[in-house]
């Protein structure tokens, strides 16, 4: 069973540029959530994708967008980068249990984005 | 007031000590409570998952949830230098994964000295 993987590991961009981060979910998982973790803070929920549709969104502007593919991998796109976008971006995968009950999120190693 | 409050520390203890970490929260809708461990420059790793009130034990780790007080705790017995990490509490109003996003505390940085 493979875990959650993310690419790239590190990225440096300049203000105003656009960036795409990628995530491969854990084998057997069908849901991907993205989080932003600023230095010294806990992760903050950006959005979640289930069956290729956005399934919830946190308090992030529309320049943060995403995609989920048929193989359940996912992308996070950020347009018009700002200095405050510098953070660790975490992807978490889980298996939706439609009948209810608990399901847990497993995190990847993250992509560290620096905006200059 | 933030939804989840967690003392960021840092917390420094000698090897073998019992460590107590805790979080308070304000949203009574939270039902699922988690503790994650995060090593420097790595992603969070799930340690404990608890539904509603009560205790859960796994090896040296014990998680407690008191919904009446909106207070959760993680205890680490016989702490080891390898336990040195940041510990994040997280909670959700629904089934933790696809049925709800996680709300995290800021994390407590723990250092266990040999």
CA distance B102 to A58: 10
A11 touching chain B per CB within 8 A: no
Contact B102 A105 (CB under 8 A): yes
Written as one string, the DSSP assignment of A23-56 is EEPPTT--EEEEEEE-TTS--EEEEEEETTEEEE
Per residue in A10-54, pLDDT tens? 999 999 999 999 999 988 888 899 999 999 999 999 999 988 898
B82 touching chain A per CB within 8 A: no
Contact A58 B98 (CB under 8 A): no
pLDDT > 70 in chain A, percent:
92
**Angle at Cα A109 formed by Cα A108 and Cα A110, nearest 5°?**
95
Contact residues on chain A for B3, CB-CB shorter than 8 A: none
Contact A43 B98 (CB under 8 A): no
SS3 of A75, please? strand
Say if residue A99's pLDDT is above 60: no
Cβ–Cβ under 8 Å, residues A88 and A112: yes
Contact residues on chain A for B95, CB-CB shorter than 8 A: 97, 100-103
Q: In chain A, whose CA is at the least distance from the CA of B4?
A: A42
Instruction: Compute mean pLDDT per 10 residues along chain B, 114 residues long, and list them.
Output: 87 97 92 93 91 90 95 97 96 61 93 96
pLDDT of B52: 83
Q: φ and ψ at A77, to 5 degrees?
A: -115, 135
Contact B102 A43 (CB under 8 A): yes
Could you tell me which residues come within 8 angstroms of residue A87 by beta carbon, excluding any fewer than 6 positions away?
A36, A37, A38, A39, A112, A113
Helix/strand/coil (H, E, C) string of B64-104? EEECCCCEEEEEECCCCHHHCEEEEEEEECCCCCCCCCCEE
């Amino acid at each position: 069973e493979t875990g959650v993987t993310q690419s790239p590991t590190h990225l440096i961009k300049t203000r105003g540029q656009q960036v795409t981060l990628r995530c491969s979910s854990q084998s057997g998982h069908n849901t991907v959530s993205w989080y932003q973790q600023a230095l010294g803070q806990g992760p903050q929920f950006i959005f979640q994708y289930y069956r290729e549709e956005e399934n919830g969104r946190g308090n992030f502007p529309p320049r943060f967008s995403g995609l989920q593919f048929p193989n359940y991998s996912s992308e996070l796109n950020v347009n018009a980068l700002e200095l405050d976008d510098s953070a660790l971006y975490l992807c978490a995968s889980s298996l939706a249990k439609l009948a209810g009950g608990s399901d847990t999120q497993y995190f990847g190693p993250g992509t560290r984005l620096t905006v200059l | 007031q933030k939804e989840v409050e967690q003392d960021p520390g840092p917390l420094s203890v000698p090897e073998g000590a019992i460590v107590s970490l805790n979080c308070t929260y304000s949203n009574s809708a939270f039902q699922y409570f988690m503790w994650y461990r995060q090593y420097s420059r790595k992603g969070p790793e799930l340690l404990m998952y608890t539904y509603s009130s009560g205790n859960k034990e796994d090896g040296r780790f014990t998680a407690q949830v008191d919904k009446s007080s909106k207070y959760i705790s993680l205890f680490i017995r016989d702490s080891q230098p390898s336990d040195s990490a940041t510990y994040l509490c997280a909670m959700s109003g629904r089934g933790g994964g696809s049925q709800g996003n996680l709300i995290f505390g800021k994390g407590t940085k723990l250092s266990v000295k040999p």
